[in-house]
Amino acid sequence: MNVSSLDDMRRLLRGIPLDRVTTSMTINAPANILWGMFILAGEASGVPAEGLGGTTQNDILKEYIAQKEFLYPPKPALRLVIDT
């Protein structure tokens, strides 16, 4: 499913007991944006951020070095990884 908005994330998670499951977002570059959407969707369904569980993979440099599929060149990618 393409998740490009908060409404998409809410639709994706509808009916899932977010306080009883964990998520794994191994999506690198968009991980922080989607994690934010996940938190907002959880809060909208009555689960506070503290009640959500899961992991993200924010390894933007791996995309550049290993897969040759990247959104950001190395210097801005490193800045984004450090800042988030």
Has residue 75 been placed in a domain? yes
Q: Looking at 1-84, which runs of residues are DSSP E strands? A: 22-25, 53-56
pLDDT reported for residue 43: 97
Has residue 16 been placed in a domain? yes
Cβ atoms of residues 78 and 61 within 8 Å:
yes
Polymer length in residues for the chain? 84
Mean pLDDT of the chain: 88
Has residue 1 been placed in a domain? no
pLDDT reported for residue 69: 75
Has residue 21 been placed in a domain? yes
In Å, how far from its chain's centre is CA 28? 8
Has residue 47 been placed in a domain? yes
Task: Tell me, yes or no, if the pTM score tops 0.75.
Answer: yes
* pLDDT tens-digit readout, 36-58: 999 999 999 999 999 999 998 87
The SS3 of residue 70 is coil
At 67, the pLDDT band (50, 70, 90 cuts) reads confident
Domain of 12 in residue numbering reads as 6-83
Task: Tally the domains of the chain.
Answer: 1
Report the percent of the chain where pLDDT is more than 90: 52
